[in-house]
Structure 1
């Protein structure tokens, strides 16, 4: 299991890279093809469509061919896509390869997340937050590498570098020793049995819980991606700093998230999930609200760092919490919630962009605070539903 978990961390490092790859290279890709930013937005949206397809189809494919083969397919899709993109093909082929990257990334995130929750017998929250640390490191390192390649005017090497790295990971995954892959073989047999039997169904109480968690993940990704993409513009408008200084805010934000993920797993296991999630959502709401009230650059950077720390565990701990409340549905629950997050991250960024155009930065920050309030209310509702249904309490009381 230790070997598989190390490889799982490498998988999450990879999807951290794929999540920011296009954004880091858009300033040079678009002029190369003679395209504008609307075309860039279309490219990013199509990668999300591929990601969503990968997330949604992952449970069915896993039941049919097993997780080990499924992840080989995902790695092959990303390797081939980036190798082709490095040749600077036609725009149409670039679009198709972008969808393939998203498809492979969606399979990896949902499959590895479900596998980790299912087989981490103790301290599931710690295991998930460790994965998220590697996601954050990948998200931070790729822009630096891309910046170097752009400076050297060999930016297409970014695609080849990631393709080669993905191929190496594919080889490690393919050559995994038999003793290390025993869990995957057992899982494959279980998936095959599940595929031939009637699919388990959510109870009415579980469906109500699932709908609340869908809202939670929908809104959370709106906060994470919205802050990441709009913080520089918010700071430029609010305190009139330079573009380079404003861009540094994203580094502060992601740095805080990555640091926080080093500790939040153990904190959640110690505190129990509900108090941790309520405290995280409440702290996020207070600090985001404070951003709308201060105009000091130093204070705003400190608040941004604080927001990153408070939201750092919301995704992974929320995912573990949801699966603990709905045992036996790990694959379906994980893929559903990750898909909800992907859709929310896409849709709510349009809301935030519209707010910036119509009302500027002040009301936009209050919208972010409203999102955090929705997270807080969602966890309180989940706790109330759990307390009202004795069947949901059975076997899981120790975690709350």
Structure 2
């Protein structure tokens, strides 16, 4: 595996920790800052406002400084934001650091994912599944480290690990070779029929459906990342140290699922994979909303992680497969709409949790999953119709 792919995995691992650490300590942070979960929603919202800034910034940074400069800058911004969380546990600095954290993460993800999609066209799902597995590993280790910090009475120190990792990766990124070298060796994605988009209307519809899938999925994932410990505290009456492990259980399953995604992508085309994964996500969230057993709650977190594990990366590569002439634009749009979903859905979820308690928040989670399944099914139906050749469509119509 090229050194650059290893660097990409390290960057995604660091981003995974940066994504979940705040949610892991959120119950204590809210208590320390004398605020409510509405403030937690504000933090998540500003983090994803940072995504909206970071995505176009990625395009500008790559044009001006190349991939290396953009990667080093993204790591440095994330390091500074995480250090700010550690040093200034006050409401206003937290809001500023959350915004900066989103900028750094979006700048990294848009830059790295665009380069990998461009440089490994025949192995997009296989390569991207490795980086997403690294992201998931960060999401597993982040809450575990946060739980240890909470137990030691120093929950702010959880952000210091992210700051140290980001600073180290900024240095490593400055010296890692970066070039478009797809040796064509190694496992490849399973064959998926080309999608024939004959006119602007078809292209706009299919692109909009893909972006809607990304928006809803990332919003759902962000709700789990940032509020699952709070839901377990409210729903099952658990202490914060125990509740934070729910995110680790979820992300441990995500890592296992994402490692398996690389193998599944060699056997199963993109369309049926997405439909089955979205259906499993819906069923699991419905069962979780009705569960009153703590043990079953953790088991359902594992199943939720398994079903959700490959949805983002497969949607990303499927969208690029549908628009092979727009790789850079599609990848950045995916990151942008990921930020949009990560800002809006958790904001609504945090408000629901603060105003109505965990029961209705659980229902909201299931409703988000239902919408995701509906959009994925619609996208699958449209792309399947457009995958036929013109002669096949005429024959089917006649």
Deviation by residue 1:208-251 (Cα, 9 ceiling, x = unmatched): 11111121111112222223444445556656666655444333
Deviation by residue 1:111-144 (Cα, 9 ceiling, x = unmatched): 1112222222333212112111111221222333
Q: State the alpha-carbon separation in 2 of the partners of residues 378 and 301 from structure 1.
A: 28
Aligned to 1:19: 19
Is the 8 Å Cα contact of residues 274 and 314 (structure 2) preserved in structure 1?
Answer: yes
Does 2:8 correspond to 1:8? yes
Is there any run of 5+ residues in structure 2 with no aligned partner, and where?
182-198, 392-398
Q: State the alpha-carbon separation in 2 of the partners of residues 95 and 241 from structure 1.
A: 27
Q: 1:142 to 1:240 in 2, by over 3 A?
A: closer
Is the 8 Å Cα contact of residues 323 and 333 (structure 1) preserved in structure 2?
Answer: yes
Say which structure, 1 or 2, has more relative contact order (CA 8 Å, 6+ apart): 2
**Offset, 1:9:** 0.4
**Offset, 1:107:** 0.4
Aligned to 2:193: none
Q: State the alpha-carbon separation in 2 of the partners of residues 169 and 272 from structure 1.
A: 34
- TM-score of the aligned structures, taking structure 1 as reference length: 0.80
Which of 259, 263, 266 is matched with 2:260 structurally?
263
Q: Secondary structure at the match of 1:262?
A: helix
1:140-155 matched pairs, under 5 angstroms = 140-149=140-149, 151-152=151-152
Q: 1:157 to 1:295 in 2, by over 3 A?
A: closer
Aligned to 2:208: 211
**Offset, 1:327:** 1.0
Q: 1:47 to 1:353 in 2, by over 3 A?
A: closer
Is the 8 Å Cα contact of residues 47 and 102 (structure 2) preserved in structure 1?
Answer: yes
Aligned to 1:65: 65
Deviation by residue 1:73-120 (Cα, 9 ceiling, x = unmatched): 222323344455554498755644443332111100111112222222
Q: State the alpha-carbon separation in 1 of the partners of residues 217 and 170 from structure 2.
A: 31
Is the 8 Å Cα contact of residues 125 and 266 (structure 1) preserved in structure 2?
Answer: no
Aligned to 2:394: none
Q: State the alpha-carbon separation in 1 of the partners of residues 227 and 93 from structure 2.
A: 30
Q: State the alpha-carbon separation in 1 of the partners of residues 221 and 160 from structure 2.
A: 28
Q: Secondary structure at the match of 1:66?
A: helix
Does 2:306 correspond to 1:314? no
Aligned to 2:300: 303
Aligned to 2:373: 376
Aligned to 2:50: 50
After alignment, is 368-377 or 261-270 more displaced? 368-377
Q: Secondary structure at the match of 1:183?
A: coil
Q: 1:289 to 1:390 in 2, by over 3 A?
A: closer
Is the 8 Å Cα contact of residues 218 and 343 (structure 1) preserved in structure 2?
Answer: yes
Aligned to 1:36: 35
Aligned to 1:287: 284
Does 2:172 correspond to 1:172? yes
RMSD: 3.3
Does 2:100 correspond to 1:103? no
Q: State the alpha-carbon separation in 2 of the partners of residues 172 and 18 from structure 1.
A: 18
Q: State the alpha-carbon separation in 1 of the partners of residues 95 and 231 from structure 2.
A: 31
Q: State the alpha-carbon separation in 2 of the partners of residues 83 and 231 from structure 1.
A: 24
Aligned to 2:336: 339
Aligned to 2:218: 221
Aligned to 1:329: 326
Is the 8 Å Cα contact of residues 16 and 138 (structure 1) preserved in structure 2?
Answer: yes
Is the 8 Å Cα contact of residues 125 and 265 (structure 2) preserved in structure 1?
Answer: yes
Deviation by residue 1:325-350 (Cα, 9 ceiling, x = unmatched): 11122222122122222222221223
Is the 8 Å Cα contact of residues 217 and 340 (structure 1) preserved in structure 2?
Answer: yes
Is the 8 Å Cα contact of residues 88 and 156 (structure 1) preserved in structure 2?
Answer: no
After alignment, is 7-16 or 38-47 more displaced? 38-47
Q: 1:205 to 1:164 in 2, by over 3 A?
A: same
Aligned to 1:134: 134
